[in-house]
Amino acid sequence: MAPLRVLCVHGYRQNGASFRDKTGALRKLLKKQVELVYMTAPLKVEHDRNAEVPVKENDSVPGPGGDEDSRGWWFSDTVARSFSAQQQCEESLGLDESVATVREAVKAQGPFDGILGFSQGAAFVAMLCSLQEQKVEPEFNFRFAILVAGFRSACREHQNFYSAPLQMPSLHVFGLEDRVIPDNMSRELLPSFQDPQVLIHPGGHFVPAASAHRQTYQDFLKRFQ
């Protein structure tokens, strides 16, 4: 049986290479079921020398892929070109460019069976699922979504993505000790999907891939094999 091809969408201040490094355990856990394909967001995140050290969207030190090339999918502060999941905003910056980048990745590297997102990437995946169901992105043909530490965007212009529960089969993964995206923020995204499956782990802000989680991932994925 051919493995399912899954497009992987990294978190804010990560890139495709660094996210690949941080999900090695997941690749190993699911190597018989899935082939994970990584892409990088188009928006470059500038480092503010005067700011506090930003909380990176992972619980580990920069891997060999390097987080030096920090990227994001949209900015909630259009002036500072920065992002915070908690920031209420009227409009965002860069989302259209990011959707176009996914469109190109699907054309160049697809087809994909599913899509996986982490943190800001998971919030973005929910938006991509909405665009697919609204039939405004004919290139998108994902059969399932895995959202790790996802959340509803607090930006007013994004609220149309949550107008109707999505039919897309989804697995929502979040940690009870997550300090970057607290689990209540991930729970708020669940009603945006018709039949959300849930995997809760006791840890923090990372993609869990312990043997204890294998069965939940496998049970979800085998529906599409």
**Alpha-carbon torsion, ordered 131, 136, 138, 139, to 10 deg:** -50
- Cα–Cα distance between 136 and 104 in angstroms, integer? 15
**Is 163 known to be catalytic?**
no
Q: Which is catalytic among the residues 119, 153, 170, 186? A: 119
C-beta of residue 121 within 8 angstroms of C-beta of residue 95:
no
**Is 119 known to be catalytic?**
yes
Task: Name beta bridge partners: 93.
Answer: 75
Burial of 146-185, coded b for 16+ CB within 10 Å and e otherwise, reads bbbbbbbbbbeebeebbeeebebbbbbbbbeebebbbeeb
**Is 205 known to be catalytic?**
yes
Q: Which is catalytic among the residues 178, 186, 192, 213? A: 178
- Cα–Cα distance between 130 and 191 in angstroms, integer? 13
Just list the catalytic residues. Answer: 119, 178, 205
